[in-house]
Amino acid sequence: MMRVGVLGAGGRMGREVLRAVHAASDLELVAAIDPGFAGQPLQALLPEFDGDVQVAADLQALVAASCDLAVDFTAPSVAAGNIAFLLKHGIHGVVGTTGLDHEALGEAVKASPTKANLVVAANFAIGAVLLMQFAAKAARHLRDVEVIELHHDRKLDAPSGTAVHTAAAIAEARRGAGLTAPQDPTEHEDYPGSRGAVVDGVHVHAIRLPGLVAHEEVIFGGIGQTLSIRHDTVDRTAFMDGVLLALRAVSTTPGLTLGLDRLLEG
């Protein structure tokens, strides 16, 4: 049984991860890190937990609990340091924090003397990963495309990591098919930003409203036709199948894995 610690345990995603790991028969929840709840019993975050674990502020609690794996849903300002700690101590990591420098992460994993592995994903919902795959396939045939992503009003980054990853996959697919990003020299924004951000040649529009969770729509346009691909996350439990998939695979998937595509194919 693999021993798991959760970083950012008191957050909305962190609490869902606690619940999912605790319910998994092949994983053992042994540590929780969150400075805002340090010193409290884990039952404060997960009432159904029946063990003797206190929420800690210090990452050393992962080492003290002999964690094999750790999940990080924190913030970019602390996640990079958390990952460095995991790599130093030989703890495999599953990271859902977005806004990280993937090139730097790759170099850090290569330089790690402990050979710890990382799975870093912008989105752990299986349907969202499939949306990105479908969008990349469609982009080989329909060049003109825009992305709309919608999230709750407390999300810190815009555009979302999922939207950026989707745009990158579309751009790569277009290049592979010998297509270039569309150019419209006559386009003019009466209000700057009204056409959204341009990510790798793809217009991306970010919406932030209360009542939303995580949603993405990719709209392709062609002569006489449109194609829309949409995924809606209506509850954060949707991410847990992907988190558990990554936890079960990370120890046997060498190096840095970006996204769940490779794990789904395996």
Q: Kindly state the tokens that stand for 25.
A: 């028969």
CA angle at 134 for the pair 148 and 177, rounded to the nearest 5°: 100
102 has catalytic annotation: no
Catalytic residue selected from 22, 151, 165, 215: 151
- Distance in angstroms (rounded) separating the CA atoms of residues 152 and 103: 28
- Distance in angstroms (rounded) separating the CA atoms of residues 62 and 67: 5
Q: What sign has the CA pseudo-torsion 12, 18, 23, 24?
A: positive
Amino acid in position 174 = R
155 has catalytic annotation: yes
- Distance in angstroms (rounded) separating the CA atoms of residues 108 and 112: 6
- Distance in angstroms (rounded) separating the CA atoms of residues 115 and 253: 11
Q: At CB < 8 A and 24+ separation, what contacts does 59-63 make?
A: 59/7, 59/33, 59/85, 61/5, 61/31, 61/33, 62/5, 62/31, 62/33, 62/86, 62/89, 62/91, 63/89, 63/91
Residues annotated catalytic, as ranges: 151, 155
